Amino acid sequence: MTFRARHLLGIEHLAPEEIRTLLDLAETYVDLNRRTIKKTDVLAGMTQINMFFENSTRTQASFELAGKRLGADVMNMAMSQSSVKKGETLIDTALTLNAMHPDLLVVRHQNSGAVDLLAQKVNCAVLNAGDGRHEHPTQALLDALTIRRAKGRLHRLTVAICGDIAHSRVARSNLILLGKMENRVRLIGPPTLMPPGVAELGCEVYDDMKAGLEGADVVMMLRLQKERMDGGFIPSEREYFYRFGLDAEKLGYAKDDAIVMHPGPMNRGVEIDGTLADDINRSVIQDQVEMGVAVRMAAMDLLARNLKAARGAEAAGVMV
């Protein structure tokens, strides 16, 4: 299997072959997760610590389930009750936990780059569960698996990513992954919600849903990230939904078999019509959640293999 990474910090560090390896392994975990007995022992004896400095439902729950189904001992740190609240730094917190010999550290943090920094200080595998506006690699991987299963391939597709691109780590990771796998990516949203330098990202940019969605195979909606906004980026939610919210009429501009995606949590009636989000003939939003567990199992399985190999080589005095 081709997967050399020691940590999973961002899609930017993965080669296309590593992405394919991870998705192929995740397929086996989709099957396992649909059985009554969903357990394997590939992480037996290993310790996984989840540190979420930002709120999460999907990512935290699926990392916890993934670790437990792989047989790891899983600990969820309650960050709001930790010594971070007494002023302990992120690095001191990480060093403290590192001294307890975890094998996998799953980290979500509000600052871009914080997870990379932490990974340099510890000697276990680190998985980025979302850092600021930077990356959310497991989200892009679960989106990729969802697309591959729905469309039968993960190349030469036209994917429209719509909405609040400027504040979205999901958009950034997806943009990188879809580009690496040779897809055509379009970004659609108001100019106020486009990041600076968007023209250099190697994708097409639209501020009109009709033009941007024409011929799209995949329509990926994004949440308005109000928690990262420090000013008025849209005139009103009502106006935003009128121009950029996805409903059946706007979906009609895309291909007849286009799928609808959203990473969640959704603002129904703001970026997506609730009825369309629930339409199982078009929406794959619940599939994305299901794929999230399988992808996180695959990521931790592969990183644990590399960790065991590195430790084995170190014990034998071999450089890797």
In terms of Cα–Cα distance, which of 167, 163, 164, 165 is closest to 175?
A: 165
Q: Which is nearer to ligand CP, 56 or 306 (CB)?
A: 56
Question: Three-class SS of residue 210?
Answer: helix
Interface stretch with ligand CP, choices 19-27, 95-103, 259-267, 306-314 (CB under 6 A): 259-267
Q: Which is nearer to ligand CP, 50 or 139 (CB)?
A: 139
Residue carrying the six token digits 């999973």: 8
Report if residue 263 touches ligand CP, rule: CB under 6 A. yes
| Residues 53-82: x where in contact with ligand CP by CB under 6 A, - otherwise, as a string | ---xxxx-----------------------
Candidate list 21, 47, 50, 139; residue touching ligand CP; CB under 6 A: 139
Report if residue 228 touches ligand CP, rule: CB under 6 A. no
Q: Which is nearer to ligand CP, 151 or 169 (CB)?
A: 169
Q: Which is nearer to ligand CP, 21 or 62 (CB)?
A: 62
Report if residue 264 touches ligand CP, rule: CB under 6 A. yes
Residues of span 2-21 touching ligand CP by CB under 6 A: none
Residue nearest to ligand CP (CB): 59
Number of chain positions touching ligand CP (CB under 6 A):
9
In angstroms, the CA 18 to CA 1 distance is 8
In angstroms, the CA 158 to CA 236 distance is 29
In angstroms, the CA 222 to CA 52 distance is 21
How is the beta sheet containing 125-131 ordered, strand by strand? 73-77, 47-52, 104-109, 125-131
Q: What angle do CA 102, 121, 128 make, to 5 degrees?
A: 70
Contact call for residues 168 and 189 (beta carbons, < 8 A): no
In angstroms, the CA 59 to CA 76 distance is 12
Residues of span 119-138 touching ligand CP by CB under 6 A: 130
Which residues in this chain contact ligand CP in the complex, by CB under 6 A?
56-59, 130, 139, 263-265
